[in-house]
Amino acid sequence: MYKARKLDRGAMDRASEKWNSVAKPLHSLGVFEDIVINIAGIQGTENISIDKRCVLVMCSDNGVVCEGVTQTGQEVTAIVTENFAKGDTSVCKMAHFANAEVFAVDVGVSRDVEGVINKKISYGTKNMYRESAMTYSEAQKAIDTGIECVKELKEKGYKIIVTGEMGIGNTTTSAAVVSVLAGIEPEEITGRGAGLSSDGLKRKIEVIKGAIELNKPDKNDAVDVLAKVGGYDIAALCGVFLGGIIYGVPIVIDGFISAAAALCAYKICKESRNFMIASHVSGENGAANILKILDKKAPINAGMCLGEGTGGAMLLPLLDSVLCVYNEMSTFSDINVEQYKELK
């Protein structure tokens, strides 16, 4: 369906050899070394660069909010989306520190928002508890929008993209999508989102189960699942992850919603996981399950569940510090010390 690239195994081998030549104990930077090697395979060179980076935030509303599955109202989506344009959100502050730009994309906010990239498909999805969230063609259009965004950013020279999202109710849609695609009961992966009470959580699970029962999404067709119980933000982010393998760009998984989108991309194109970088294990239920399915190890485990791309933005300066070792540290030959050997 999509023209997929392959990792450059030669570049990965050379990056691994470079790590082994650095004057430190073998593999002592753990998963960070694996991430650098992965990026080498994506970029096709051991001389990797992530100096031009961005956070791509997909914003949309979800009709299911009217079922009482959130603490705040749908109007908050538009307010926060406007704040992305003003640079006044958590991820904007963190991205500024990490020398990354933030691009907010309106793919389905319930009203028009000034100052953000307008790729609106419709003014929010329908209520999945009563009917399909969107049509199949709308879901596919959202996916294509995400792919298009990666193409545009690649052409502008961006070398790594962090995924972010904004949409009140999107932990509900994400839990529904993951429940179907991963075959996990909603009770196991549904969390409190932005602070639900115990009664609110019970209602949220009830709505998710009802939406799945009503719409009967096909677990073998991720687009159908997105259309019936997903959201435009998740579908667009799915496209971003597919864009990673199409255009050869490392795409950073943020939290639960972002990971749900990554799972959708994986179900569409298995090899897309090779172009994904995990940033953190979200405190939201279900995130760890998805990373396990994707066979991804996240270096940050801090119980975060803020969203917006904040976990991914936090990863960037950590990678910068690791790359200082990779690029600037003396080698064993430089200091006339015998190189460590792999021992069994």
Residues recognised as catalytic: 308
For the CA atoms of the chain, what is the radius of gyration? 20
27: three-class secondary structure by DSSP: coil
| Lookup result for tokens 């959580």 | 201
Q: With the CA atoms of 171, 172, 175 and 177 taken in that order, what torsion angle do they form, in degrees rounded to the nearest 10?
A: -110
CA dist., res. 93 & res. 6, Å (int): 35
Q: How far apart are CA 308 and CA 205, in angstroms?
A: 23
Secondary structure E strands in the chain:
53-60, 100-108, 117-118, 160-166, 251-253, 276-278
Burial class (CB in 10 A: 0-12, 13-18, 19+), 25: exposed
Task: Give me the residues paired with residue 104 across strands.
Answer: 57
Sort 90 into a burial class: Cβ within 10 Å, 0-12 / 13-18 / 19+: middle
- Give residue for tokens 């080498």: 40
Cβ atoms of 227 and 133 within 8 Å: the answer is yes
Instruction: Return the structure tokens found at 63.
Output: 């009709």
d(CA 40, CA 206): 45
